[in-house]
Amino acid sequence: MMKHRLFWPLMVLVVLLLFNLIYSPDFFSIKMRDGHLYGSLIDILNFGSPLILVAIGMTLVIATGGIDLSVGSVVAITGAMACLSISRANDQNGLVAVLGAVGIALVLSAALGLWNGFLVARIGIQPIIATLILMVAGRGIAQLITNGQIITVLSPKYQYIGAGSLLTLPFSIFIVAAMFVIASLLTRKTALGLFIEAVGCKPTASRLAGVRSRTVMLAVYMFCGLCAGIAGLLLSSNVSSADGNNAGLWYELDAILAVVIGGTSLTGGRFYLAGTLVGALIIQTLTTTIYMVGVPPEITLVVKALVVLAVCLVQSEKFRGLLRGRPKAGPLQTANPEVKRHA
């Protein structure tokens, strides 16, 4: 059982939740108020939904042996674009205006993802640099769209996306669930998942085996951009405003962290969407826990750093071997030229 890839991430999550249970017995209580469900668990799902979305897209990118550093900037750009186009409309609450804004934002985010994919798959730039370009320039573009201001919109219909509720649950949870199901079905019930893993193992070999590795990569980066775009809509509609400077700041790091905690290796070739889901929930639970316990928010980062390190060490085969007192595996056994390329 300890060999199962979800064992360690789930253990961490269970330990975190148990800690919360002991610390505050109210943690698991869910109350019904005005037709909405309230409770810490609902909050974790609700506030964690943008991160889960971004992490789902990131998982597939990492599975192809790539990485997408630009998701935070894409979050900022799409939020800014949606809010700008709503604020330009005559009737900010008009259905057409809101749907149009959402459409424009999503198309834009997919286009940005496609741009990353183009640089990686067609031009052949390493993913970490190719996406670094959009990460650096993207925040500038977002500020260009908002003209350096925070755009505020007054539109209950737009606000519904990130702050509304359906069947007593926050609407954002449904969006995330839908995206998760779509991604899982696409990758596990069709050959797409296999193609992605093949490309991640060795692009040249998979191309020779008949997999269109370039098309697969383009599609994956586009999907990642789209996920980041939806996350941007959730975030900006939740607060009914767009901040080009701070929206989605450090999202790329949290998302990569969620993926790694979930057991997907940064070297590519294998991916675990369920693991990513658990990873993102761990990060969100950790944040909530830290606030609940009353740890001063200042040292949140220290706790986060220690948890990251602990999770990574626990997942490292060598560290586990060390704990069990086994002779240390020689570095040569794990070092192969492919690993270095993505490191």
Partner 1 sequence: MLKRQYIPLWVTIGLFLLIFIVGSFRYTGFFSMQVLLNLLIDNAFLLIAAVGMTFVIVSGGIDLSVGSMIALTTMVSASLLQQGWPPMIVILLVLIIGVLFGTAMGAIIHYFNIQPFIVTLAGMFLARGLCYVISINTITIDNAFYTSVAQTKIKLPGGSFISISVLIALAVVAMGIYLAHYTKFGRNTYAVGGSEPSSMLMGLPVARTKMMVFGFSGFCSALAGIVFTFYMLSGYGLHANGMELDVIAAVVIGGTLLTGGVGYVVGTFFGVLIQGVIQTIISFEGTLSSWWTRIVIGVLLLLFILLQRLLGERRLTGRSSG
Site residues for partner 1 per CB under 8 A:
67, 119, 123-126, 128-130, 132-141, 143-144, 148, 202-204, 244, 253, 256-257, 260, 266, 296, 298-306, 308-309, 312-313, 316-319, 331-332, 334-337, 340-343
CB of 141 to partner 1, least distance (A): 6
Q: Which is nearer to partner 1, 154 or 339 (CB)?
A: 339
Tell me if 73 sits within 8 A of 135, measured CB to CB: yes
CB of 108 to partner 1, least distance (A): 16
Helices (H), the chain: 7-23, 40-63, 71-88, 95-117, 127-146, 156-163, 171-188, 192-201, 203-208, 213-239, 251-261, 273-293, 300-315, 317-323, 331-334, 337-342
Q: Which is nearer to partner 1, 45 or 258 (CB)?
A: 258
Q: Which is nearer to partner 1, 97 or 260 (CB)?
A: 260
Q: Which helix (H) or strand (E) holds 37?
A: strand 36-38
Q: Which is nearer to partner 1, 28 or 319 (CB)?
A: 319
CB of 298 to partner 1, least distance (A): 3
CB of 329 to partner 1, least distance (A): 9
CA 278, CA 238: separation in Å to the nearest integer? 23
Sort strands 36-38 and 150-152 into parallel, antiparallel or unpaired.
unpaired
Q: Read off φ and ψ for residue 189, nearest 5 degrees.
A: -105, -10
Alpha-carbon distance values, 309 to 75, 153, 306 (Å): 27, 40, 5
Longest dimension (CA), the chain: 71
CB of 137 to partner 1, least distance (A): 2
Sort strands 36-38 and 31-33 into parallel, antiparallel or unpaired.
antiparallel
Q: Which is nearer to partner 1, 119 or 161 (CB)?
A: 119
Chain centroid to Cα 341, Å, comes to 23
CB of 287 to partner 1, least distance (A): 12
Q: Which is nearer to partner 1, 176 or 243 (CB)?
A: 243
CB of 160 to partner 1, least distance (A): 31
Question: How many CB atoms within 10 Å of residue 104?
Answer: 16
Q: Which is nearer to partner 1, 24 or 245 (CB)?
A: 245
